[in-house]
Amino acid sequence: MSFTSDDRSRLGLRESATFDRATIAGIQRAAETGVYDIRGWGAKRALPHFDDLLFLGASMSRYPLEGYREACGTDVVLGGRNAKFPLRLDIPVTIAGMSFGALSGRAKDALGRGASEVGTSTTTGDGGMTPEERGQSKHLVYQYLPSRYGMNPDDLRKADAIEVVLGQGAKPGGGGMLLGQKISERVAGMRTLPQGIDQRSASRHPDWTGPDDLTIKILELREITDWEKPIYVKVGASRTYYDVKLAVHAGADVVVVDGMQGGTAATQDVFIEHVGIPTLAAIPQAVQALQELGVHRKPDGVQLIVSGGIRTGADVAKALALGADAVAIGTAALVALGDNHPRWAAEYEKLGSAAGFYDDYQDGRDPAGISTQDPQLEQRLDPVEGGRRLANYLRVLTMEAQTIARACGKAHVTHLEPEDLVALTIESAAMARVPLAGTGWIPGQGL
């Protein structure tokens, strides 16, 4: 028999805050298997986040803009500093790098369709570029990762931008993983690996270490592609102020900062929950670095893309107000495609999970057909319908961000500024460097 929480309080059963049920289950799992827990999704613990910030809106001292009549721009240009062909996106929300391998071919196809429909970019991942995603994506960013799986100069030339990946928020300092269940014949072929092995990617690039080498590497990529393409550098949020400065010195046109909430397809749980800093803490550090170098929001400047836990248009608006030029979404895009949908509730339960809790992207048995290489499961995702859902979701994010920007009197979403924000908690005020609501106090600044 199982007790409801009412039963438990009647019986005086008290859960330990230190050894809660998830912790106890973790110890038992470790004792049984002798292998650490590998899972997908991002950090699940509560962290200071965008929810801890509020917009002030216009009133006496600021004029709002009218909802439908007055324009509020959303377009962004990325990578104009050195590239002959910068990326011109209609909305400031992009799709983050997620590999074919981690995701099914149909999922990649759907991401490309959805993004292209609203004029934004998608990104390849740790496993190379598939013809399907190139075909469906109007703007495709090609990731250049430590593993170099499927890394091919022809694909480099086909890309619209190149993203040198140093790390991701879910695991700064860690390489990729893909378990055997997902190394199908096609995935294995693209990565030059034996089929069915448990793959771990390198965590360091094989032919450069440190920012001085990266400078030369970036020049190599420019030379190979005849200086046509913007070059991004992606880092997991940790020593963000220094990392961003070094990335700019190394020649990045765009810096991507992924906070610790950022999603993953397969990472050790201990890594996801305990390494890196929250997105909220990373943005002001990145912006400070760009400002000190004189490249923040300048015509020939370096753009900042922020990711890690972006869910709503409010999150988008807050990231932009803190100084990001655009955001990237991973987990939310998968949810928009149909991940964790209640229609698969019975199947999630069979896998020992539940709709809204499913995080076993590493496992390859995704009922929604997204994080799988199983040809049958994959059929469940209709790329056209998935693309339509993602486009809808991206439109909502954009309209929500515009709603807030207009309320703050801004004719473009990137005109939002820290001055429009206040914080609800002392922690978030200190991290985001905006005043605690109702006060002029920014902890750590001034007196």
Q: How far is the CB of 225 from ligand FMN (least distance, A)?
A: 20
Residues comprising the chain, all counted: 447
Our CB check for ligand FMN shows the closer of 97 and 364 to be 97
Q: How far is the CB of 442 from ligand FMN (least distance, A)?
A: 26
* CA–CA dist 13, 23 (Å, integer): 17
Q: Which of 5, 11, 16, 34 binds other proteins (CB under 8 A)?
A: 34
330 binds, among ligand FMN, other proteins, none (CB under 5 to 8 A by kind): ligand FMN
Our CB check for ligand FMN shows the closer of 82 and 307 to be 307
- The one-character DSSP state at 364 is S
Q: Look at strands 254-258 and 303-307 and give their pairing.
A: parallel
Phi then psi for 392, rounded to 5 degrees? -55, -50
β partners of residue 178: 199
Q: Is 93 left (phi over 0), alpha (psi -120 to 50) or beta?
A: beta
How far is Cα of residue 196 from the mean position of the Cα atoms in its chain?
28
Our CB check for ligand FMN shows the closer of 136 and 143 to be 143
Q: How far is the CB of 435 from other proteins (least distance, A)?
A: 45
Contacts of 241 (CB under 8 A, 6+ apart): 285, 286, 288, 289
Residues 121-160: x where in contact with other proteins by CB under 8 A, - otherwise, as a string? --------------------------xx--xxxx-x----
Our CB check for ligand FMN shows the closer of 97 and 386 to be 97
217 binds, among ligand FMN, other proteins, none (CB under 5 to 8 A by kind): other proteins
Q: How far is the CB of 245 from other proteins (least distance, A)?
A: 22
Q: How far is the CB of 217 from other proteins (least distance, A)?
A: 7
Which tokens go with 19? 């050894």
Q: Is the dihedral of CA 169, 174, 179, 185 positive or negative?
A: positive
384 near other proteins, judged by CB under 8 A: no
Q: Is the dihedral of CA 312, 262, 428, 255 positive or negative?
A: negative
213 near other proteins, judged by CB under 8 A: yes
Contacts of 267 (CB under 8 A, 6+ apart): 38, 39, 40, 170, 171, 174, 177
Our CB check for ligand FMN shows the closer of 102 and 317 to be 102
In the block, residue with structure tokens 């709603």: 403
Our CB check for other proteins shows the closer of 27 and 354 to be 27
Q: How far is the CB of 157 from other proteins (least distance, A)?
A: 8
* CA–CA dist 211, 123 (Å, integer): 24
Q: Which of 198, 228, 382, 417 binds other proteins (CB under 8 A)?
A: 198
Chain positions 388 to 447 lying near other proteins, rule: CB under 8 A, are none
For residue 444, CA distances in Å to 124, 319, 433 come to: 39, 21, 8
For other proteins, the binding residues (CB under 8 A) are 33-36, 38, 147-148, 151-154, 156, 179-180, 191-194, 197-198, 202, 206-208, 213, 216-217, 219-220, 223-227
